[in-house]
Every structure is written in C-alpha cells, then in structure tokens.
Amino acid sequence: MNRTAIYPGSFDPLTNGHMDIIERGSHLFDRLIVAVGINTEKPGYFSVEERLEDLRVCCAKMPNVEVASFEGLLVEYARSRNSRILLRGLRAISDYDYEFRIALANRRLAAEVETVFLIAREEYSFLASSVVREVAKFGGDYAQFVPENVAKRIENRLKS
Ligand code: ADP
C-alpha cells in the first residue's frame, strides 16, 4: 500500500514547530504533501508564493515530501491527490476544540479520509506563526523560532 498523507496549513510563516511535524510525518508515510491553503479573503503576512518557496527550501532534503498549495475544500484536494490521510499537529488543549470540529466536519464530508494528529514536541508546544509575527513586530528574537531562510525573509520584511 502506498500511503500518501497531506499536512495542510497556513504556514504564515513556517516555524520550527511545523518543520518538526513535517520531519516526523515524513518517517510515518510513504509520501507527505505539505499543502498551503490559499485563503482569498486574507492576504496573509507572506504571500502564498513566498511561503511555498520557504517550504521548498526547508523540505529539499526530504525526498518523499512534496510542497503544494490548494484552494477550496481540503477533502476534495485530498481526493484529487489520492490521499486518505490528513496530518495535523496538536499543541495545547486549546488546539483540541478547533481541530476536533474540523476533523469531524471533514469526516462528514469524506468518510474515507482520516485525520491523524502528532503531539507537538514540548519545546515547540507554545510556538505558533502568530507568536513569531508578534515577536518580530515588537523587535524580539524571532530567529530562534523559525528556519534560517524564513528568518531572513522576516528580516527583509522588517527593513522594507
Ligand atoms: P492553520 O491555519 O491551518 O491552523 P497553521 O500553519 O497555523 O495552519 O498550522 C498548521 C498545523 O500545524 C496545525 O495542525 C497546527 O496545529 C500545527 N502546528 C502549528 N504550530 C505547531 C507547533 N509548534 N508544533 C506542532 N504543531 C504545530
């Protein structure tokens, strides 16, 4: 059996917490598609193209990881990629309520698709893209939370 999983998210920006889930996911499945969800109503901190570029650089050493973007319903995207597995990360209890609702809704929409969760590593359990954006905005050391190429992109953004 060829198991393809999809790890969807905003990745705005990509953090070390996301990378941890991607690395661990890459060992669990034959193929992992990291999929940036396109939200046409929210422009985002970085553009989808910028986020894809950072993900591609960071995932280059993982041959079974593909980077892509999708628009519309996630389960439809999963079907179009012949995947029945959605991968998500769980940090604190606060993630649970949201993830639970989304997973149940997705199951209603596509019963054959399973959502699986990886528990965040302790050192990343507080880490969210929104935390990185806030720390950067107020002049804190954001570089410790993100891959090097993402830190560079944030630095350039702050300069401009
Ligand atoms: P979304 O907007 O879909 O929540 P995110 O980019 O914020 O997109 O997160 C994508 C997934 O990665 C979610 O399942 C989220 O819980 C998980 N995630 C985010 N940060 C971390 C982290 N530090 N450790 C583990 N999982 C994380």
Q: 24, 84, 91, 121: which is the annotated catalytic residue?
A: 91
- Give Cα 20 to chain centroid, integer Å: 10
| Domain regions of the chain by residue span | 4-159
Beta strand segments in 20-150, E:
31-37, 65-70, 85-90, 114-119
For 62-87, b where at least 16 C-beta lie within 10 A, e where not — what string? Answer: beebbbebbeeebbebbeebebbbbb
Instruction: Give, using CA atoms, the residue closest to atom 18 of ligand 1.
Output: 89
Which of the four CATH numbers 3.10.310.10, 3.40.50.620, 1.20.1250.20, 3.40.920.10 does domain 4-159 have? 3.40.50.620
- The Cα–Cα gap between 20 and 14 comes to 11
Is the pLDDT score of 160 beyond 90?
Answer: no
CA of residue 15 to ligand 1 center, whole Å: 9
Which helix (H) or strand (E) segment is 157 a member of? Answer: helix 148-159
**Three-class secondary structure of residue 69 per DSSP:** strand
Answer whether residue 90 shows pLDDT above 80. Answer: yes
Instruction: Give nearest CA residue, ligand 1 atom 22.
Output: 17
Q: How far is the CA of 18 from the centre of ligand 1 (A)?
A: 6
Do strands 85-90 and 65-70 pair parallel, antiparallel, or not at all (unpaired)?
Answer: unpaired
Model confidence pLDDT, tens digit, residues 34-89: 999 999 888 899 999 999 999 999 999 999 999 999 999 999 999 999 999 999 99
pTM as predicted? 0.96
Averaged pLDDT score across all residues of the chain: 96
